[in-house]
Structure 1
Amino acid sequence: MSHAEHQRAAQLLRDLEQANSQLLQSEKLASIGQLAAGVAHEINNPIGYVFSNLKTLADYVRDLLEIIDASDRVTSLEELQALKQRLDYGYIRDDVRALISESEEGIERVKSIITALKDFSHIDEEDFVAADLHRGLETTLSLVNNELKYKAEVIKEYGELPPVECLPSQINQVALNLLTNAVQAIDGRGRIVIRTGCDTERAWFEIEDTGHGIPAEHRERLFEPFFTTKPVGEGTGLGLALSSSIVQKHGGRIEMASEPGRGSRFRVWLPIHQPHDSAPEPDPR
């Protein structure tokens, strides 16, 4: 091969790497959009009833202020008591407590979602850190709860795990992709089991579903970019490619087992400790 041909081949390789990076970035943005829609729905529900409660509380405060102001002008206690009875003071007194308690619960739910979103993203993450994989799984579950709750019962079978050196936001992205695939594989309602465990050098987590499974002829191509078994318009075929890229850059691997008609199981193996001279690769997303 001539020098010019070497140069053309090197340039082609660089172009392909850039195109791959752009495609993975597109998949990342698509999953963020899907995640944002789910988070918006989860937040909208508690915000909705807190807003409704505030409107009711405003009416109660108006009535309570009328009772207080009346105490300065009534000529008898009986007249004040009649006003309290007309405004149903006893009911207001009890319902105010319930409305405040319910509203506090709603705000706490919103706070927990926001905390989970922050834990999920780790926007400023640059270095490998010793992370709690269980916390990452829980925050990811919290964010996809809107999709999960209508489709599957979630069963957690967590083992004992040490902290795992990783880029938590990227591992959360892998968990998000696998959970989303598990939900989409289930027709009607099913079950998703999340398990964790470890040996002396590696930790793992796996997601198993009771979905339609993966035909044998598709299994060798699952992690290829653009390969998807979903209908046109419902999948880019980049989710598992992205997940595989992230796990490989952590020095790990993904195992898959599936039986058509009975479900699939994806297990992610990660080294507990990264080599001391390792540095994070550029974000594959």
Structure 2
Amino acid sequence: MYFEPTLLPSQDILQAFSERMQEGLLLFRGDGELVFANAIARASLCRDPRDGSTFAERIAQVLPGGALSQARTSGSWSGSLPIGERIVIAHLYHYGAIGQEFFLALFHNIEGQEDYERELEQRHAELRQAYMRLNGAQDKLLQSEKMASIGQLAAGVAHEINNPIGYVHSNLGSLQEYLRSLFTLIEAYERALRAPDPKALIPEIDDIRRRADIDFIAGDLPQLMAESREGIERVTRIVRDLKDFSYSDRSESWKLVDLHAGLESTINIIWNELKYKVTLERQYGELPLVEALPSELNQVYMNLLLNAGQAIAERGTITVSTGVEGDQVWIEFRDTGPGIPADIQQRIFDPFFTTKPVGSGTGLGLSISYGIINKHHGRIDVDSAPGEGAAFRITLPVRQPK
């Protein structure tokens, strides 16, 4: 038994074409009265159900809630629907005339489930490839910005390395002279031990000690060695921090990290950019180990510290504070610069937006930082007013949501 449509004039032509369609076609009034259905739609949707429901009730069961109202509002609705054991693509169109309204429904692939599944799998594969390309582009952009930052810091980093290398080199020259004097004194003692009358060589030994200033060497040598060791450790620390900062590995796993260690590592790299005009104050609280991607957080620290330093024209202070609030930690960077106007605050995280002169910045630092913190399920808040400096506060969960 079928729901019987009420035929309209010239429906025979429409019906002749629709019977050849591979899609199901339904035309029904706004009150749920069926006007027209082609063969595929009659076989799938218009058979009298066992529960005795009307066509209006049947179509209301098939279409999701809100489909009819959306079609009325915007003129159309599209979506996928389960019909029996099949999934079909449905398009619903609305037409309102004076005093009445009509809906035209097209059901695609009612008889072609395999085709639909192949199409779905193909689209799924395309989406997966697009997602992988997007991830790859994001990683390349992240690494590019990271290396660009290191490039901007190259002169300062070279200076920070050159200073300790310079005094280590100078100390090695002094050490060479000290060793020459000590070996001369040792040779004099050896001659005295082999001489028939060792006491006769005591004046010569005393003269060597006086001319070589052995007493000064004895006091200066330990200090010289300690200073040289400190210089080498300084270089080692800078190189290690640079290596950690420039590290890029898509398979980098989340780990429990000490945020203060990351802050100090970043400060160590960029200190030459700040030390001539910035007083750095640390107000560290006691933080638990935080689940994070440390190399990415270090890039956020560097971007915020460099921006704070560049905001200070001559002399100023940057205060780095940390603390805990419940199951979250926060890191704040506050500077005494001129502040950020309200109209600019709305745009500072936009890609390629920068207030720096052309060639002085990529405009990606804050945008990338925002993305990294969002990836950590955290947030960046900005507090600034013209003339009162700016504060960027990062809030992160101690453990990432499962």
TM-score normalised to structure 1 length: 0.84
- Partner of 1:126: helix, strand, or coil? coil
Higher relative contact order by CA 8 Å / sep ≥ 6: 1 or 2? 1
> What is the match of residue 183 of structure 1?
309
Question: Is the CA contact 1:206–1:265 (under 8 Å) kept in the aligned structure 2?
Answer: yes
- Partner of 1:146: helix, strand, or coil? helix
Q: Which moved more, 1:75-84 or 1:147-156?
A: 75-84
Q: Percent identity?
A: 53
Question: Is the CA contact 1:120–1:136 (under 8 Å) kept in the aligned structure 2?
Answer: no
Structure 1 distance, partners of 2:375, 2:272, is 30
Residues 145-182 of structure 1 deviation map (CA, whole Å, 9 limit, x = unaligned): 21221121111122232221110111111011100100
> What is the match of residue 396 of structure 2?
270
- Partner of 2:383: helix, strand, or coil? strand
Structure 2 distance, partners of 1:220, 1:20, is 23
Q: Which moved more, 1:150-159 or 1:66-75?
A: 66-75
Structure 1 distance, partners of 2:208, 2:261, is 54
2:332 corresponds to 1:206: yes
Q: What is the CA distance between 1:232 and its match in structure 2?
A: 1.3
Structure 2 distance, partners of 1:24, 1:121, is 10
> What is the match of residue 80 of structure 1?
205
Which residue of 287, 296, 306 corresponds with 1:161? 287
Structure 2 distance, partners of 1:44, 1:209, is 29
Structure 1 distance, partners of 2:264, 2:341, is 30
Q: Structure 2 stretches of 5 or more lacking a match?
A: 1-77, 79-118, 193-199
Q: Structure 1 stretches of 5 or more lacking a match?
A: 277-285
- TM alignment of 1:39-188, pairs within 5 A: 39-73=157-191, 75-117=200-242, 120=245, 126-188=252-314
* Aligned-partner residue type, residue 142 of structure 1: N
Q: What is the CA distance between 1:35 and its match in structure 2?
A: 4.2
Question: Is the CA contact 2:287–2:323 (under 8 Å) kept in the aligned structure 1?
Answer: yes
* Aligned-partner residue type, residue 103 of structure 1: S
After superposition, the Cα gap between the structure-2 partners of 1:195 and 1:20, relative to the gap in structure 1 and judged at 3 Å, is same
Question: Is the CA contact 2:153–2:273 (under 8 Å) kept in the aligned structure 1?
Answer: no
Structure 2 distance, partners of 1:126, 1:17, is 14
Question: Is the CA contact 1:119–1:136 (under 8 Å) kept in the aligned structure 2?
Answer: no
Q: What is the CA distance between 1:119 and its match in structure 2?
A: 5.2
RMSD after superposition: 2.9
- Partner of 2:337: helix, strand, or coil? coil
> What is the match of residue 227 of structure 1?
353
After superposition, the Cα gap between the structure-2 partners of 1:164 and 1:21, relative to the gap in structure 1 and judged at 3 Å, is closer
> What is the match of residue 281 of structure 1?
none
Q: Which moved more, 1:264-273 or 1:193-202?
A: 193-202
Q: What is the CA distance between 1:222 and its match in structure 2?
A: 0.4
> What is the match of residue 42 of structure 2?
none
After superposition, the Cα gap between the structure-2 partners of 1:119 and 1:67, relative to the gap in structure 1 and judged at 3 Å, is same
After superposition, the Cα gap between the structure-2 partners of 1:52 and 1:189, relative to the gap in structure 1 and judged at 3 Å, is same
In our comparison, the structure showing a higher alpha carbon Rg is 2
Question: Is the CA contact 1:122–1:168 (under 8 Å) kept in the aligned structure 2?
Answer: no
2:360 corresponds to 1:242: no
Q: Which moved more, 1:97-106 or 1:18-27?
A: 18-27
- Partner of 1:196: helix, strand, or coil? strand
Structure 2 distance, partners of 1:240, 1:133, is 19
Structure 2 distance, partners of 1:186, 1:267, is 18
After superposition, the Cα gap between the structure-2 partners of 1:162 and 1:18, relative to the gap in structure 1 and judged at 3 Å, is closer
Residues 187-206 of structure 1 deviation map (CA, whole Å, 9 limit, x = unaligned): 10100011112222321111
Going by fraction, where is strand more abundant, 1 or 2? 2
Structure 2 distance, partners of 1:84, 1:184, is 55
Q: Which moved more, 1:149-158 or 1:101-110?
A: 101-110
Structure 2 distance, partners of 1:71, 1:203, is 66
Structure 2 distance, partners of 1:244, 1:136, is 18
After superposition, the Cα gap between the structure-2 partners of 1:273 and 1:77, relative to the gap in structure 1 and judged at 3 Å, is same
After superposition, the Cα gap between the structure-2 partners of 1:18 and 1:152, relative to the gap in structure 1 and judged at 3 Å, is same
* Aligned-partner residue type, residue 210 of structure 2: Q
Residues 224-276 of structure 1 deviation map (CA, whole Å, 9 limit, x = unaligned): 11100011111110000110111111111111111222211101111211122
> What is the match of residue 34 of structure 2?
none
Question: Is the CA contact 1:137–1:175 (under 8 Å) kept in the aligned structure 2?
Answer: yes
Question: Is the CA contact 2:147–2:246 (under 8 Å) kept in the aligned structure 1?
Answer: no
Question: Is the CA contact 1:24–1:238 (under 8 Å) kept in the aligned structure 2?
Answer: no
After superposition, the Cα gap between the structure-2 partners of 1:23 and 1:207, relative to the gap in structure 1 and judged at 3 Å, is same
Question: Is the CA contact 2:143–2:248 (under 8 Å) kept in the aligned structure 1?
Answer: no
Structure 2 distance, partners of 1:193, 1:226, is 27
After superposition, the Cα gap between the structure-2 partners of 1:245 and 1:83, relative to the gap in structure 1 and judged at 3 Å, is same
